[in-house]
Amino acid sequence: MHPALQGLITIIIGVGGCVGYFFFSNYLLDKFLLPARAMTAEQTALRRSLGTIFLFAVPALLVLALYVTAIGVGSIASAGGMFWLLVAVGLIFGLWRLKDFVFASGPTTAGHNISHANMIRPWLFLAPAILALGLYLTYPVFETLRLSLVQRNGGVGFGNYTFMFGEQKFWEAMRNNMLWLIVVPAMSTVFGLLAAQLTDRISWGSIAKMMIFMPMAISMVGASVIWKLIYESRPVDVEQIGILNAVWVAMGGEPQQWLTLPVWNNFFLMIVLVWIQTGFAMVILSAALRGIPEETVEAAIVDGANPFQIFFKIKVPQIMPTIVVVWTTITLVVLKVFDIVFTMTNGQWGTQVLANYMYDKLFRANDWGTGSAAAMIIMLLVTPILVWNVRNARKEMR
């Protein structure tokens, strides 16, 4: 089958599935489980017994059958068997409670049914997302933690971590990550703020904004390829195809292998991310700048502030919360930076970063333990910033 057709079918199934789930879960809830009408005691008793069969007994038997086939009665005494047994019992207990919640005893009013349906509805809608996130996000976190603690020799401990901390390449990655952490968010935010302020005051500002925002639409790998061409080098006697070398040679320099110059090459990589993230910072900050009441600026003019004072003492403090959110958001991107380093230098010549180090260990060296340990370190660094960022964003919204 043609790949485009496959893609189209995937989209149709996906979107159709979402719509269908929305429609049928509502239908089930409002027509069968909790119809919006009053019921007498006899009616509820009948519904209760039916419910015990269909909402409790059948699913509970299914869970049990699943347990028996997947785990087997024989391994019930092992740690895994015990764990899954607990899960199954928990599920069955949950079904029992759900049945009690949905099918009340005694006469009920329409209002009782509607309010109970509305309590179940959000969970029903969230269920697929919770399941998917649990499977693809929460479970891997714990699995990675487990892998990072399992050593080569099969023992459990911090051996992977001590091995990693002893590696020179890890500390190089740490150092570079810190460098990225300082330079990229700062530069992106500053450039974004400048672009936002300056493009607001010129007639072709929206075109300029579009141009600055455009790199956001390019994938990191695409951007890396573009910049690799910019840093491209040719021998002295050949015409330079990389623009940086072309300019450099025109100014009388020797052509350089920019990406192999130690320490500097880190900054050449950072420029790529700054180039991408400036657009993001600009768009958010430009909206924030427009939200500043014009009259406060006019009051500052009357008070005798010059344009710089207006910008730094009136405008910037008023959008400080937004600047912080932009800064931390970019910080999160930076902590996870992988694609740029992977495509441009692959961590050679002293440009290693944590994410690429993790990739090297996990998928090149097949060293699951050390790779997972590196992943845990990245998560440890990201989590506090992420929590802070979410808090700030919430405060912004209020």
Partner 1 sequence: MAGLNLTNVAKSYGDVDVLKDINLDIEAGELIVFVGPSGCGKSTLLRMIAGLEKITAGELQIDGLVVNDVPPAQRGIAMVFQSYALYPHMTVRDNMAFALKLAKLSKQEIDDAVNKAADILQLTPYLDRLPKALSGGQRQRVAIGRCIVRDPKVFLFDEPLSNLDAALRVATRLEIAQLKESMPDRTMIYVTHDQVEAMTLATRIVVLANKGISQVGTPLDLYERPENEFVAQFIGSPAMNLFPGEITETGEQTRIALEGGHGSILSAYPSTEADKGGKVNVGIRPEDLQLTDDAENSFTGTVNVQENLGEVTLLFFNPDKEGVDPVIAKLPGIHRGLKGETLNLTANPGKVHVFMDGKSMLYR
For partner 1, the closer CB: 237 or 294: 294
Near partner 1 by CB under 8 A: residue from 76, 91, 208, 314: 314
- HEC letters along the chain: CCHHHHHHHHHHHHHHHHHHHHHHHHHHHHHHHCCCCCECHHHHHHHHHHHHHHHHHHHHHHHHHHHHHHCCHHHHHCHHHHHHHHHHHHHHHHHHHHHHHHCCCCCECHHHHHHHHHHHHHHHHHHHHHHHHHHHHHHHHHHHHHHHHECCCCCECCHHHHHHHCCHHHHHHHHHHHHHHHHHHHHHHHHHHHHHHHHCCCCCHHHHHHHHHHHHHCCHHHHHHHHHHHCCCCCCCCCCCCHHHHHHHHCCCCCCCHHHCCCHHHHHHHHHHHHHHHHHHHHHHHHHHHCCCHHHHHHHHHHCCCHHHHHHHHHHHHCHHHHHHHHHHHHHHHHCCCHHHHHHCCCCCCCCCHHHHHHHHHHHCCCHHHHHHHHHHHHHHHHHHHHHHHHHHHHHHC
In the complex, minimum distance from the CB of residue 301 to partner 1, in angstroms, rounded to a whole number: 5
Q: Is 285 in the site for partner 1 (CB under 8 A)?
A: no
Which x/- pattern over 366-395 shows residues binding partner 1 (rule: CB under 8 A)? ------------------------------
Q: Is 237 in the site for partner 1 (CB under 8 A)?
A: no
For partner 1, the closer CB: 151 or 309: 309
In the complex, minimum distance from the CB of residue 282 to partner 1, in angstroms, rounded to a whole number: 22
Q: Is 396 in the site for partner 1 (CB under 8 A)?
A: no
User: CA angle, 173 as apex, 157 and 242 as ends, to 5°?
Assistant: 150
Q: Is 346 in the site for partner 1 (CB under 8 A)?
A: no
For partner 1, the closer CB: 3 or 293: 293
In the complex, minimum distance from the CB of residue 294 to partner 1, in angstroms, rounded to a whole number: 9
In the complex, minimum distance from the CB of residue 193 to partner 1, in angstroms, rounded to a whole number: 16
In the complex, minimum distance from the CB of residue 290 to partner 1, in angstroms, rounded to a whole number: 16
Whole-number Å distance between alpha carbons of 121 and 118: 5
Near partner 1 by CB under 8 A: residue from 143, 200, 303, 396: 303
Which x/- pattern over 129-148 shows residues binding partner 1 (rule: CB under 8 A)? --------------------
| Size, binding site for partner 1 by CB under 8 A | 17
For partner 1, the closer CB: 74 or 293: 293
Q: Is 299 in the site for partner 1 (CB under 8 A)?
A: yes
Near partner 1 by CB under 8 A: residue from 254, 304, 394, 397: 304
Please give the backbone phi and psi of residue 108, each rounded to the nearest 5 degrees, phi first. Answer: -125, 155
For partner 1, the closer CB: 198 or 299: 299
Size (the chain), residues:
398
For partner 1, the closer CB: 143 or 298: 298
In the complex, minimum distance from the CB of residue 305 to partner 1, in angstroms, rounded to a whole number: 6
Near partner 1 by CB under 8 A: residue from 26, 151, 197, 309: 309
Which range, of 100-108, 137-145, 167-175, 301-309, touches partner 1 by CB under 8 A? 301-309
Q: Which residues bind partner 1 (CB under 8 A)?
A: 293, 295-296, 298-305, 309, 313-314, 317-318, 320
